[in-house]
Amino acid sequence: MKHILVTNDDGIESDALAPLADALSACGQVHIIAPERNWSGASHSITLFRPLRCRRTELRDGREAFMTDGSPTDCVRLAVLGFLRQKPDLVVSGVNRGANLGDDITYSGTVAAAMEGVLSNIPSIAISVGAFGADLDFGPASAFGALLARNMLEHGFPSDALLNVNVPPAAADEIDGIEVTRLGKRSYRDQLVERLDPYGNPYYWVGGPAVSEEAEAGTDVAALRAGKISVTPIRLDLTDHDLIARLAGWDWGWSSPVEVTAK
């Protein structure tokens, strides 16, 4: 019996947890550990300076789940370090409300939980639906997540990569296919808005809408915009290998030699 950890950075209240757990039940035993509240944008944060609580609860469909006062990454760490009796064979983070595309994945609590799976040598999937709002159908994304899960569990998957999946908010028969993509670019019209609180002290809102630009073919942004499911393999090594060689050519003017060991 395979063990699958499901978490969701939107928190234990997310209505995506039950459909995803349902779909994944065909692949193994599903364990749910999710944060008590919404941690979207939490990235790869962990709790260091206070203890973590983890309480049993039930989803609306009666399914057993656990909720923590920690981050999405904390959920994976708890599970892997012994809260679950068996180390998970697979981590599935999602289904997130809202796409996680391009540069945005550096902010994403959804992708970070999958990264934590990778750091624990567990095959991991981050999965998101490209829409917000109350009445989203998480069925197609959940079914696709289960399809990937079955493939990863049956055929194995490299321990240094995860799959970042974005699914259009459409019925399964209206989705225009599946594309394996690279990360694209996503820009925002971010603004700093300063306002005054009732005591005359300034406070700030930072944010703004995503700007629609021409997306390069082959990117996750373009695939999702074209109504396709985007699957991007992600590695955690952020090293810029070209820059290693260029830095070797700098005049460092430093008393000890500057070593360039990478090829």
Q: Quick one: which segment of 37-45, 201-209, 213-221, 240-248 binds Mn ion (CB under 5 A)? A: 37-45
40 binds Mn ion (CB under 5 A): yes
68 forms part of the interface with Mn ion (CB under 5 A): no
Stretch that binds Mn ion, among 89-97, 137-145, 150-158, 222-230 (CB under 5 A): 89-97
Site residues for Mn ion, 117-146, by CB under 5 A, read none
149 in Cβ contact with 111 (< 8 Å): no
> Exactly one of 4, 10, 126, 144 binds Mn ion (CB under 5 A); which one?
10
| Tokens at 19, concatenated | 């459909």
Dihedral sign for Cα 217, 222, 225, 228, please: positive
Number of other CB atoms surrounding residue 113 within 10 Å: 35
Residues 20/92, Cβ–Cβ less than 8 Å:
yes
9 belongs to the binding site for Mn ion (CB under 5 A) = yes
CB of 153 to Mn ion, least distance (A): 25
Q: Which C-beta is closer to Mn ion: that of 43 or that of 219? A: 43
* Of positions 96, 120, 142, 181, contacts Mn ion by CB under 5 A: 96
Question: CB of 243: closest distance to Mn ion in angstroms?
Answer: 32
- Residue 172 and residue 85: Cα distance in Å, rounded? 36
Q: How far is the CB of 72 from Mn ion (least distance, A)?
A: 8
Task: Give min distance, CB of 210 to Mn ion, in A.
Answer: 15
Query: Rule CB under 5 A: which residues touch Mn ion?
Result: 9-10, 40, 96
